[in-house]
Structure 1
């Protein structure tokens, strides 16, 4: 039962879903008036680009034998998907969440791009940082910044997210997907870019 729960956590809080969670949370909490049709268009666009498109890339890689699992267990499996994801995030920054319209989301995705590039470089160097922890820690820092930026109390959300990060780390260790060093590096790569970029928009 515990194995099932921990394995489910890895799927429910998969890194592909985290950017969308961040975008939805932003639109839900933002006091700024944003037309509903704009919100819908952005959410749909980001869903397609950050979830459906990467799944298609993964499916293609699996067909040609370049990937065995959606969790990308080896550093070699990670290189092409991470490179593709960097291109996807670059497109999002330039065409979906431009700095003029949604500057908070612009810097959120810029942080994601920096994290992805860092993870890609490490993969080339044969080090497998935890992408799950990169995504989870990055989104927590973004939530903290939003709470300060919008002067809102989201302590309950942050507490739940902290517990979830612990659960995700436990899941990855239980499944033998990562070592402690890989998890810690993932937290660092996810958290630091978002923290450093805060000074540009907070």
Structure 2
């Protein structure tokens, strides 16, 4: 039962989900009027580009024996998926969430791009960081920034995300997917770009 719960945590809070959670969190909390058709179009585009497309590309890579599992256990396995993810995020920044539309989400995804590129560079040098922690901590910092930006109480979200971060770290350690050092590297790789880009929109 314990193994099932911890494996489920890694699956439910997979890094592919976090960009969508960030977008939905922003639309839920923003006091600005954003037409519903525009919201739906943005969410639909993010689902296609950050979840469905990567999953399809994963199965393609698996078919040609470039990856083994969706968790990308080795640094070698990570190279192509991370590079593809960088290209997808650049496409989102150019076509879906441009800087002249929703600036908060633009810099959120710019932070994601920087974290992904940092993870790619580390993988090239055989340094493994937890992608789960990168994605979750990036969303965590973005949520805090949104609370400050719009002066709203998100204490519940912060408490929940701290629990989630702890659960993810516990899950990855239990599954022997990462060491403590890799989890810490991942956390700061996700937090730092979001923290830096807060200066441009907060």
- Is TM > 0.5 for Structure 1 vs Structure 2? yes
User: Does 1:102 find its partner at 2:99?
Assistant: no
| Paired position in structure 1 for 2:120 | 120
Structure 1 residue 155 displacement after superposition = 0.3
| Paired position in structure 1 for 2:40 | 40
Structure 1 residue 101 displacement after superposition = 0.7
| Paired position in structure 2 for 1:92 | 92
Q: Tell me how large the CA RMSD over aligned residues is.
A: 0.4
Mapping for residues 26-175 of structure 1, pairs under 5 Å: 26-175=26-175
What SS does the corresponding residue of 1:73 show, helix, strand or coil? Answer: coil
Distance 1:68 1:84 in 2: 16
Output the TM-score relative to the length of structure 1: 0.99
Distance 2:183 2:125 in 1: 17
What SS does the corresponding residue of 1:49 show, helix, strand or coil? Answer: helix
Distance 1:110 1:156 in 2: 26
Distance 2:96 2:68 in 1: 31
What SS does the corresponding residue of 1:53 show, helix, strand or coil? Answer: helix
Structure 1 residue 128 displacement after superposition = 1.0
Distance 2:123 2:57 in 1: 18
Listed one character per residue, the Cα deviations across residues 112-152 of structure 1 (whole Å, up to 9, x for unaligned) are: 00000000000000111000000010000000000000110
Structure 1 residue 22 displacement after superposition = 0.5
Distance 2:55 2:67 in 1: 12
| Paired position in structure 2 for 1:11 | 11
**4+ long deviations beyond 3 Å:** none
Distance 1:25 1:177 in 2: 29
| Paired position in structure 1 for 2:181 | 181
Output the TM-score relative to the length of structure 2: 0.99
Distance 1:78 1:52 in 2: 18
What SS does the corresponding residue of 2:127 show, helix, strand or coil? Answer: coil
